[in-house]
Amino acid sequence: MAKKTIQRFLPDPNKIRHHKSLRIFGRLLHDANLWHLNRRSARGAFAVGLFFAFIPVPFQMVLAAAAAIILRVNLPISVALVWITNPLTMPPIFYGSYLVGTLVLNQPEQHFAFEASWAWFIESLTTIGPAFLVGSLVCASIASIIGYFGIDLMWRRSVRRAWGMRNN
């Protein structure tokens, strides 16, 4: 059941192989283990994808793909989960990460207004940057751990349920 549910949402492997930003991996994308879906590859892929979804860097998909290749986990899941942080969800997720960072670093929240300028970005690295980066790393780690064990638990329950129905 879990395998069928996950497979419904996976993108087509050919689309991923030919995605312009993932072409840099070339023949590495032809490893069959990257496309195989089992409990080990799914839980690892969820961990990788959720981790990079919360890391505020450009080219998150490429980083998730590289990690999936290195760890030999399901590539489509890893790349697809990065899109949890999309233009609609990024502001609340990253603001939440900033708040987590202020708690971890025991710093007061600073009032700021976003500006799409290089000067604002450079200035914010010294003011809100440390709390934001620490919070992002903490949230990425927590999401990754929850994703890893959550998928593992769901997969095991699904297999148990299937075996129970088979024996009846």
For residue 74, give Cα distances in angstroms to 19, 97, 109, 114, 117. Answer: 16, 27, 39, 36, 37
Alpha-carbon distance 88 to 14, whole Å?
A: 27
pLDDT at 100: 96
Q: Look at 21-25, 45-49, 144-148 and tell me which has the smallest mean pLDDT.
A: 21-25
Residue 1 structure tokens: 């059941």
Q: Give dist(CA 5, CA 99) in Å, integer.
A: 34
Specify the pLDDT at position 145.
97
The residue among 82, 67, 69 whose CA lies nearest residue 11 is 82
- The answer to whether residues 41 and 123 touch, using CB atoms and an 8 Å cutoff, is no
Q: How confident is the model at residue 161 (pLDDT cuts 50, 70, 90)?
A: confident
Per-residue pLDDT band at 125 (split at 50, 70, 90): confident
Coil vs helix vs strand at 2: helix
pLDDT greater than 90 at residue 166: no
- From the CA atom positions of the chain, what is the Rg in Å? 19
Lowest mean pLDDT of 49-58, 82-91, 112-121, 156-165, name the range. Answer: 112-121
User: Against a cut of 0.85, is the pTM above it?
Assistant: no
Residue with tokens 């790349």: 79
pLDDT of residue 141: 97
Q: What is the mean pLDDT of the chain?
A: 84
For residue 5 the two structure tokens come to: 């549910």
Cβ–Cβ < 8 Å for 118, 83 = no
Check residue 17 and give its pLDDT.
64
- Which tens digit of pLDDT belongs to each residue from 2-18? 666 666 666 666 666 66
44's tokens: 């690892």
